[in-house]
Amino acid sequence: MKEEMKKTAELIQKQCQADDFTLQIYRTDDLRTRFAQNAVTQHINGANITIRLDVSFDNKTGTASTNQTDDDSLKNLVKKAENIARLNKPDPEFVPSENAHELREPINPHRATTELQVEKIVDDIVECIRNAEGRDARVSGISEKNVTKYFMQTGNGFEGYDESASFSHSMTMKKGGVETKVYRALSDYAEFSIDEMISQLNSQFDSLQEPQPGQIGRIPVILRPQAVLSWFLYLFWIFRLREADEGMTPFTDQIGKEFFGKDFSIHSTINDPKIETPVFTPDGLPTENIDWIVNGVIKKMQVDRYYARKKEIKPAMLFNMVIDGGDATEENMMKQVERGVIVNNLWYIRPVDTKSGEWTGLTRDGVLYFENGEIQHSLTNFRWNEVLHDVTKRILALGPPVQLRPEIVVPTMLIDDFNFVDVTTF
């Protein structure tokens, strides 16, 4: 496939008359099986290719894309991109394409994932359906296998090739007013267990019978890994140096300072084979180990190539995310505080004020109330308002990190005085 992509690139390069260009070719082989109301409802399997060409004449840019690889389509792709560039206004933030770099060799995707067949996926789904039927409930969800091959070339000499593969499974079980969801994605299907996911789904489902109304106010909360992921990933929406310098976020002039809690650290890594790591970024920059936050101290923020050039610093972009954890079990956490709430997941998360870093959202997939180290009963859902960096200063304990996506690892967190501002009727 790499050689085929290079031949496509050679044809485009010969046709291109622009001063500079960046060419990206993606080939994806996807397998998706959906199920709903205790039955398989759809199966999609096939390969797709996307070719994107960005060109420039001086600092006037144009972009075009196609999913066809015949000569006429590729020539038309070049023509469209160049015509757009000629008609476009100059881009005051234009940056030339990336130069050649020495790159790491791509890591071959796990065979257990690339060789996964639909028959095995359907077998797993059948187990999910049997489990739901045994509880007189309904289950719906989707299983997906994705295999991607990626080639990139620029007018300034960059050339890179990468491969990846992933598998994900999600399912929601519902009976009457009780509903909960579980999700898992990983690079190596060999590490996936449908039995463990069913067990997690059943545990959540059984614990949510007859929820009682919650009480608004501040209370210790155990955020399970999916809740941590759902919210903390939003941090990198605003964790950018340019926005900080422009006073648009709370991180202005905070690099090198202890702005987060001392027990909070985030990094991106190229050293863990279990964590998906691209060889290079979409801009053509080699990926490398990055410490974003260490023991609460901001070490680096995201910065794109334009702003990095302006500041005369090195660009840095998030490519995977590891939030460091600890060794506390959920049982330990429940014993550390007199009472509290366990949250499985968060959703409808929105910024209230990006300048202060305040967010709001709802709980979902189950909320549990505990006292004296024991779960007492389930609760209806809450609306919450919190400032993310302040929350990290109230971390009381961290659980072992859990890989919820191929590129993301997060722990359970026990947080003091979490701010629940309203309750829902569901």
The tens digit of pLDDT for each residue in 144-198 reads 999 999 999 999 999 999 999 999 999 999 999 889 999 999 999 999 999 999 9
Domain co-membership, 292 together with 364:
yes
Reference 228, options 415, 412, 56, 100; nearest CA is 412
The tens digit of pLDDT for each residue in 27-86 reads: 999 999 999 999 999 999 999 999 999 999 999 999 999 999 999 999 999 999 999 999
Percent of the chain surpassing pLDDT 70: 100
Domain co-membership, 229 together with 338:
yes
Residue 13 lies in a domain: yes
How far is the C-alpha of 156 from the C-alpha of 10, rounded, in Å? Answer: 14
Residue 369 lies in a domain: yes
Residue 426 pLDDT > 80: no
Of 165, 200, 235, the one marking the end of a domain is 200
How far is the C-alpha of 225 from the C-alpha of 283, rounded, in Å? Answer: 31
Domain co-membership, 181 together with 239:
no
pLDDT of residue 285: 95
Type of residue numbered 207:
S
Residue 206 lies in a domain: no
Residue 20 lies in a domain: yes
Query: By three-state DSSP, how is residue 372 classified?
Result: coil
Residue 291 lies in a domain: yes
Domain co-membership, 195 together with 225:
no
Residue count of the chain: 426
Domain co-membership, 178 together with 50:
yes
Of 146, 176, 200, the one marking the end of a domain is 200
Domain co-membership, 255 together with 275:
yes
Domain co-membership, 184 together with 215:
no
Domain co-membership, 141 together with 181:
yes
The tens digit of pLDDT for each residue in 242-286 reads: 999 999 999 999 999 999 999 999 999 999 988 999 999 999 999
Q: What CATH number did the domain enclosing 16 receive?
A: 3.30.2290.10
The tens digit of pLDDT for each residue in 203-217 reads: 999 988 888 988 899
Domain co-membership, 274 together with 215:
yes
Residue 193 lies in a domain: yes
Q: Which domain does 291 fall in, by range? A: 211-426
CB < 8 Å & 24+ apart, contacts of 172-178: 172/139, 172/140, 172/141, 173/132, 173/135, 173/137, 173/138, 173/139, 173/201, 173/205, 174/137, 174/138, 174/139, 174/140, 175/135, 175/136, 175/137, 175/138, 175/205, 177/426, 178/205, 178/208, 178/209
Total domains in the fold of the chain: 2
Backbone phi, then psi, for 263, in 5-degree steps? -95, 15
In this prediction, residues 375-384 reach a mean pLDDT of 94
How far is the C-alpha of 8 from the C-alpha of 29, rounded, in Å? Answer: 19
Confirm whether pTM is higher than 0.85. yes
